[in-house]
Amino acid sequence: MHSDIAYDISAQSESEDSLSLPLVGIIYGNVGTTEFKCNIIGPVEQTEYVQMRHEKVGWVLGQVDTIQRKTDLSLEKAQEMAEGQEMDIKELVSADISVIGYRDDRGLLQVPRTPFKAGERIYRASEDLIREVIGLKDNPEKGAYVGMLNGHDIKIYLDINTIVQKHMSVLAKTGAGKSYITGVIIEEMMKHGVTLLILDPHGEYSSMKDPAKDTGDPRFDVSPRSYSDRMIVFSPDTKINPDARPLKFTLSSMDARSLLELMGLKAGSNLKPLRAAIDYLKGVKPAYMIKDIITVLEADEEHDYGILVNALDYLEDMNIFAPQGTKISEIVQPGKTSIINLKGTPPEIQQLIVNRIATALFELRKIGKIPPMMMVVEEAHNYCPQQGKVASSGIMRTIAGEGRKFGLGMAIISQRPAKVDKNVLSQCNTQFILKVTNPNDIKAVVDSVEGLTSGMADLIQHIPLGVAIVTGGGISMPLFVEVRPRETRHGGESIKIL
Ligand SMILES: Nc1ncnc2c1ncn2[C@@H]1O[C@H](COP(=O)(O)OP(=O)(O)O)[C@@H](O)[C@H]1O
Ligand SMILES: [Mg+2]
């Protein structure tokens, strides 16, 4: 098909540094300063990088936005073809190229102020030019290796301090690979000795103790590895999660109001008797338990506290209170990753647990009692919803706003970006975006991500599994990254129904 392309490319002046680069095509049509069209005869796909020479500034980096195959097959001819006629179809491939820019003498990213010339050749971009213009550092010691630039053999390292200190988010629909890439980032954090706490509602992160069975494409240079020596798993429910250490809270640190909130009961007529029972117990039995509160309430023969007692019974069954709660110093250990496995725990109890732990981390971090660290929040829409208020809403917002001042970073993961508190989402400066299709969610993502072009917003709906748009993390522009394979076993394997 390409043989009927009419350009005589040998007539162009050849420059020595372009010789080794594959020719992609030639600029044609009306040429803008930030966008132009080019025919495609060489190896290049959407989102990949190209380079072209500008008469004033030299080599400039561009990116392939969209590719279109233009044909002379008309509706009428297609009809004839369907009826069995042979057709000679002429076709040409055209691409829209965005101008990314070049670095000037001071190293600043610039875009030429006059258009390129029609007839100018477009080449596949060299690794050196991509690195220079995008500003990729090759400093693997301090970097988090997340994958390769899509379509190019260039490893992408993000700045660990930027990720941890400025909060990050992973946003995509279910099954798009959020937990997988979060696992990649956690591996990099563990490797670099970052202290982590993972709120894990599905119990899928404990699998990181095991090395991956295979590490996929050798291009990525990933070897299976176990991080079991750096991981500690806690769970409020050690019946469902027998390998975890028990996570318990001290009942005496809960006042009547927060207990009612936890049980989903209105203060109304419940607050007074509950408060009285707790006050009484504090005097006679400092290490009281839920069943002691029930005993006191039932001893009152003049009143029927049926509803309150039933709710307390339910809480008692949760088995999350103990005379001595789990100490934060046991949960958070320098350079270690602690997983709070919340599998099997009802949502309102999860929110209470998240509230308690997050509040403790924030307060202790303020006074330097725990090391700088990052808290990973899976299913974040449940802990800081955009609508309504749950036990953990306030502290999540506080950490999003003030955490970075105290060295407490957050990773927000959600399949419903539109349902996550905007005040929290807007504070995440490093973003990993995978496939999103719900229009409200696309809007929430575009609103929260700086530097996302409208072309990228369209692409979000079609991102293939295994590719992420990465913004921030110390890199000056959004990148399409082919996520590297995992070193550890991914625990979020979707369950096959058939
Ligand atoms: N980069 C990737 N490479 C290979 N497989 C992947 C990748 N990302 C996701 N997967 C696979 O896709 C499935 C869904 O990924 P997962 O991260 O659990 O989705 P999510 O958390 O977004 O619902 C899993 O079976 C996982 O193994
Ligand atoms: Mg997941």
Rounded to the nearest angstrom, the distance between the alpha carbon of 180 and the centre of ligand 1 is 5
pLDDT at site 18:
54
Cα–Cα distances in Å, from 399 out to 392, 411, 448, 492? 11, 11, 17, 27
pLDDT at site 1:
39
pLDDT digits (tens, 9 = 90+) for 124-169: 999 999 999 999 977 667 799 999 999 999 999 999 999 988 899 9
Question: Is the predicted pLDDT of residue 10 greater than 60, yes or no?
Answer: no
Mean per-residue pLDDT, 287-300: 93
Question: Is the predicted pLDDT of residue 266 greater than 90, yes or no?
Answer: no
- State the DSSP code for 488: B
Question: Is the predicted pLDDT of residue 450 greater than 80, yes or no?
Answer: no
Atom of ligand 1 at shortest distance to CA of 172?
22
Q: Give the HSE-up count for residue 82: Cα atoms under 13 Å, Cβ half-sphere.
A: 7
Q: Which residue out of 145, 156, 179, 180 has the highest number of ligand 1 atoms within 8 Å of its CB and is therefore the one to mutate? A: 180
d(CA 40, CA 63): 13
Confidence of residue 451 (pLDDT cuts 50, 70, 90): confident
Sign for the CA dihedral angle at 288, 289, 293, 296 comes to: negative
Question: Is the predicted pLDDT of residue 495 greater than 60, yes or no?
Answer: no
Strand order from edge to edge, sheet including 143-149: 155-159, 143-149, 475-483, 467-472, 430-433, 168-171, 408-414, 373-377, 195-200, 337-341, 231-235, 245-246
Rounded to the nearest angstrom, the distance between the alpha carbon of 95 and the centre of ligand 2 is 35
Residue closest via CA to ligand 1's atom 10 equals 177
Rounded to the nearest angstrom, the distance between the alpha carbon of 173 and the centre of ligand 2 is 9
Q: In the predicted model, what is the mean pLDDT of the chain?
A: 91
d(CA 448, CA 431): 9
| Percent of the chain at pLDDT exceeding 70 | 94
Atom of ligand 1 at shortest distance to CA of 494?
25
Atom of ligand 1 at shortest distance to CA of 492?
18
Atom of ligand 1 at shortest distance to CA of 182?
17
Rounded to the nearest angstrom, the distance between the alpha carbon of 304 and the centre of ligand 2 is 45
Rounded to the nearest angstrom, the distance between the alpha carbon of 493 and the centre of ligand 1 is 7
Q: Which tokens is 322 given?
A: 């103990």
Q: What are phi and psi of 171, to 5 degrees?
A: -125, 130
Domain span(s) for CATH 3.40.50.300 in the chain: 140-229+335-346+366-389+407-483
pLDDT digits (tens, 9 = 90+) for 189-229: 999 999 999 999 999 999 999 999 987 899 999 999 999 99
pLDDT digits (tens, 9 = 90+) for 234-263: 999 998 899 999 999 888 888 898 888 778
* H-helix or E-strand spanning residue 312: helix 306-318
Q: Which CATH superfamily is domain 140-229+335-346+366-389+407-483 in?
A: P-loop containing nucleotide triphosphate hydrolases (3.40.50.300)
Residue closest via CA to ligand 1's atom 23 equals 175
pLDDT digits (tens, 9 = 90+) for 408-436: 999 999 999 999 999 999 999 999 999 99
